Structure formats: C-alpha cells, structure tokens
C-alpha cells in the first residue's frame, strides 16, 4: 500500500481498508513456512475448525486451522503438545489480530523422522516386503499364540485379558523385549527371530500401546521390518492406536489398529463358538427328530401294509373263489347271449327260407317264358342268317367259279391277277368250281414294242 502524506485527504483510510491492506501485505510478503512451538488454549468447535496459540519461551501467536485441514491430521492435537506447523502469515481483519492460518501440522521433530520413514518404506516396498503375495493367512483355531512385547506394557495386559475372555484355553508364550529406547529395535528383532527359531506358536502378535512418533520409532527400524518379513509364523502387528502406522504394520501379514484388536483377530470367540455350536446342536436335533418322525410314520405305513402269510393265503383264496364265480357267471351270460343271438338269426332265416310249393308254379311259368323267348330268338337269328347268306351269295367265289370262271394262283397260294405277271415255265394252280389242276406256262405274253411318234 502506498500512502501519499502530502495530501491530508488521501492519507486518511478506514480501519477496514487498513486491515485488508495489511493482510494482503502479510500474505504476499511472507511465503508458506514451518513454525515450531507448543500448543496452548486449544479449542475445536462444532464446525470442525480449530483455534489455538502457538508459543515458545518468549512469545506466542494465534493460529487457526480450518475443518478441511484438521480432518487430515493423523493425531489429535492437545494442550501442551510440541508441534511443527506449515502456515501462512495473515491477519484477521475483523479484529486486526495477527494470526497464522495452518495448512499442515506434525509432531515436533517428525520432519526428519518422517523423511527416514518414507525413504525406508519406499525401499522395502521396492523389495516386495509389502506385497500381498507374501502375506500369510491367520489360522482359525490356534493352539498357541506368541506375544512380542514388554512384560510391563499395558498392551500385554490388554492382549491377555482379551484372549482370556475370548478363548481361555489357548496357550500364551511371551517373548519379552523392550519396546522403547535406544536398543529396543534390536531386542524386538531378536525376540521375533527367537519365536521363529523355536517354532512353537501358531500366530505371533507384535504389539505395544500408543505414544508419540519417537516412542513408536523402534517399530519403524529396518531391522525390525526385516525380522518380521523373515518370520515363517503368521504375524499380526498391533502397535499404537488406530491412527498410528509403523513399518511393522506394512510388513506384517495382518495389521491391527490396537493391541486389543490384534488379540481379537488371532483368537476365535469362545462365546460365539459355543453359541454357534448350540445353534447347530439344536438344528441337528430338530433334523434328527424330524427324520425320526418321518421314519416312524413310514414304519407305521409299512406295518399296515404287512399281512400275515396265512391271512394273505386266505385272502388270495377268497379272491380266487370270487374270480372263479365271476368267470362262471360271465361264461353263462355269454352263452345266454349267444343262444339268444342264434335264435334271432334262426327266426330271421326262417322268414327268408323259400316255400317250394309256392315257388314251383312261378318257376314253371318263368321256365316256359324263357323257353319261348329262346325259341323266338333262335328263329330271329336263323332268319337273319338266311338273309345274310342271300346277300353274300353273289360274292361267294364258289358261285363265281360255277359260272365258268377259274382262279389262278401260284403254288404258294399267291393269286395271279394279270397275265403280265406270268413267265414261261411258271407252275400255276388253276381252280375250277369242282376241282383244281396244276399247269405249266409254256409261253408268256409277247409284249408289243411301243410306236415312236
């Protein structure tokens, strides 16, 4: 903001304008930066926004963290907690309060540790230690469960209490180790290797209670991660609270949000199993009772159908007697039916049989009529024949021959119709009205030469 003091009217600005210009100057003049301090006067409103002060030994500054950013935190901010925040320097215009608008928050000292955590996580992931293919399934009914933790840890009491409540008959073997401190990571790895070499448990729980990132750092060491990866026993990681994630969680076969949850994952619920067994027992009893009732009914039905052999023979004898009586009745009825049918047919035939005394005069009359008809027909045919003879008589060859004609033919019967067909030396047959003679031609007809005109 540029103020021109030479003109009094231009130098006068409103408070609103002043605060706005100062806010713009702060937000543009300072980049986003990390600030370390202790949380004081922390309040989270129903809206989800968080308001607090960040202080050190000599100063403090007001801070605001809006709901969207606060929801991304993996821990719960509280009074007196040492944190590091990434913030934008700003000004609350309504009251002119200098404040920091928080964009991210982490536990104090987590920057370097977080970088180490991310680097190791990336390395182990590249080696395949987090791959699902190498994860083992937990046994449904383990006989022994191993626990890698401190004997004085509250997490051990939680796990033992949960296991005793859920399945008290499971044997527990403790592999004691420190879970916090400079040498804790080596002790944890040694305890895991001991459990693997002894191979006396079905499932191994690696657990401890909640704490800061530094408190849980032993479970982020590479030696612990590789010991878990090399363990042939199915492993369950139950380190810290639900929002805490360690390298052990990623390498283990199963990650539990808390030690108590780890105990619940590895142990079947005895009460639920007993209830389930009771339900199965009741169901089986109902099934058996139903089947028994069905078989009893079937037995009763078979018993009703079962008949003594003597009674069966008596029944069959009665049935045979009834069948014989019915057969005799049927035969008599059939004979009666046929007798009646034969009588009806005989009556019908008696009506159809002719009476010779009545029919003989009729037959004689018809015989006389037939003889007269035949006689008339013969006379008519004779008359027709005579007329036909008279009509054919002029065409009779014999009649022609009797008038002086002769019929000339060759020996084979072929008629000679012209003298031109005859040659000297031909043998001919000449038939007269009364006889036939054979002749030989001595001279044929001499043909006259045709005159030329």
Looking at the structure, do residues 123 and 41 belong to the same domain, yes or no? Answer: no
Give the span between the Cα atoms of 313 and 305, in whole angstroms.
15
* pLDDT band (50, 70, 90) for residue 299: confident
Looking at the structure, do residues 119 and 82 belong to the same domain, yes or no? Answer: no
Looking at the structure, do residues 169 and 240 belong to the same domain, yes or no? Answer: yes
Q: Report whether 160 contacts 151 (CB < 8 A).
A: no
pLDDT digits (tens, 9 = 90+) for 84-123: 899 999 888 888 889 999 999 887 766 566 778 888 889 9
Give the span between the Cα atoms of 378 and 371, in whole angstroms.
10
Looking at the structure, do residues 256 and 120 belong to the same domain, yes or no? Answer: yes
What single DSSP character describes residue 218? G
- Size of the chain, expressed as the number of residues it contains: 453
The whole-chain average pLDDT of the chain stands at 86
Looking at the structure, do residues 23 and 98 belong to the same domain, yes or no? Answer: yes
Looking at the structure, do residues 241 and 118 belong to the same domain, yes or no? Answer: yes
Coil/strand/helix, residue 339: helix
Element (H, E) at 29: helix 15-29
Q: Is 186's pLDDT higher than 90?
A: yes
Q: Is 10's pLDDT higher than 70?
A: no
Number of separate domains in the chain: 3
Q: Is 255's pLDDT higher than 80?
A: yes
* pTM, 2 dp: 0.46
Q: Is residue 264, in this structure, part of any structural domain at all?
A: yes
Looking at the structure, do residues 131 and 66 belong to the same domain, yes or no? Answer: no
Coil/strand/helix, residue 64: strand
Give the span between the Cα atoms of 36 and 109, in whole angstroms.
9
Residue 280 makes CB contacts below 8 A (sequence gap 6+) with none
pLDDT digits (tens, 9 = 90+) for 129-183: 889 998 999 999 999 999 999 998 888 999 999 999 998 999 999 999 999 888 8
pLDDT at 435 (0 to 100): 86
Which residue, among 226, 233, 234, has the nearest Cα to 251 in the 3D structure?
226
Looking at the structure, do residues 119 and 262 belong to the same domain, yes or no? Answer: yes
Residue 207 forms beta bridges with which residues? 238
Higher pLDDT, 289 or 445: 289
Looking at the structure, do residues 101 and 120 belong to the same domain, yes or no? Answer: no
Looking at the structure, do residues 134 and 240 belong to the same domain, yes or no? Answer: yes
Higher pLDDT, 452 or 105: 105
Higher pLDDT, 8 or 104: 104
Q: Is residue 67, in this structure, part of any structural domain at all?
A: yes
Q: Is 51's pLDDT higher than 90?
A: yes
* pLDDT band (50, 70, 90) for residue 446: low
Residues spanned by the domain of 74: 8-108
Looking at the structure, do residues 200 and 252 belong to the same domain, yes or no? Answer: yes
Q: Is residue 91, in this structure, part of any structural domain at all?
A: yes
């Amino acid at each position: 903001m540029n103020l021109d003091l030479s003109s009094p009217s231009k130098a006068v600005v409103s408070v609103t304008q002043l605060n706005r210009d100062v806010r713009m100057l702060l937000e543009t003049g300072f980049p986003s930066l990390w600030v370390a301090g202790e949380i004081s006067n922390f309040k989270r409103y129903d809206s989800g926004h968080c308001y607090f002060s960040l202080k050190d030994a000599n100063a403090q500054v007001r801070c605001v963290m809006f709901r969207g950013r606060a929801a991304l935190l993996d821990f719960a901010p509280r009074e007196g907690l040492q944190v590091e925040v990434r913030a934008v320097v700003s000004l609350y215009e309504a009251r002119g309060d200098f404040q920091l608008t928080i964009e991210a928050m982490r536990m104090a000292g987590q920057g370097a540790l977080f970088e180490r955590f991310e680097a190791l996580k990336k390395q182990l992931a590249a080696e395949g230690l987090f791959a699902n293919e190498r994860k083992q399934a937990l046994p449904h009914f383990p006989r022994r469960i191993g626990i890698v933790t401190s004997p004085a840890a509250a997490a051990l009491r939680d796990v033992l209490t949960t296991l005793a409540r859920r399945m008290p008959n499971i044997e527990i073997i403790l592999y004691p180790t420190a879970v916090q401190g400079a040498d804790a990571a080596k002790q944890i790895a040694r305890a895991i290797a001991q459990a693997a070499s002894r191979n006396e448990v079905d499932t191994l729980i690696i657990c401890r209670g909640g704490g800061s990132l530094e408190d849980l750092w032993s479970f982020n060491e590479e030696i612990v991660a590789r010991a878990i990866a090399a363990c042939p026993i199915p492993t369950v990681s139950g380190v810290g609270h639900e929002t805490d994630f360690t390298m052990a969680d990623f390498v283990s076969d199963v990650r539990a949000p808390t030690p108590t949850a780890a105990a619940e994952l590895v142990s079947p619920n005895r009460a639920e199993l007993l209830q389930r067994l009771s339900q199965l027992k009741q169901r089986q009893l109902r099934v058996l009772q139903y089947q028994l009732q069905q078989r009893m009914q079937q037995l009763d039905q078979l018993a009703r159908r079962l008949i003594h052999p003597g009674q069966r023979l008596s029944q069959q004898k009665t049935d045979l007697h009834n069948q014989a009586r019915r057969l005799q009745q049927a035969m008599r009825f059939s004979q009666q039916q046929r007798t009646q049918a034969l009588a009806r047919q005989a009556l019908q035939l008696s009506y159809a049989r002719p009476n010779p005394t009545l029919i003989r005069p009729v037959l004689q009359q018809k015989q006389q009529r037939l003889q007269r008809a035949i006689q008339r027909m013969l006379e008519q045919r004779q008359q027709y024949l005579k007329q036909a003879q008279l009509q054919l008589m002029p065409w009779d060859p014999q009649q022609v021959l009797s008038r002086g004609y002769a019929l000339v033919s060759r020996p084979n019967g072929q008629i000679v119709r012209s003298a031109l067909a005859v040659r000297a030396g031909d043998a001919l047959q000449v038939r007269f009205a009364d006889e036939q003679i054979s002749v030989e031609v001595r001279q044929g007809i001499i043909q006259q030469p045709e005159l030329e005109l």
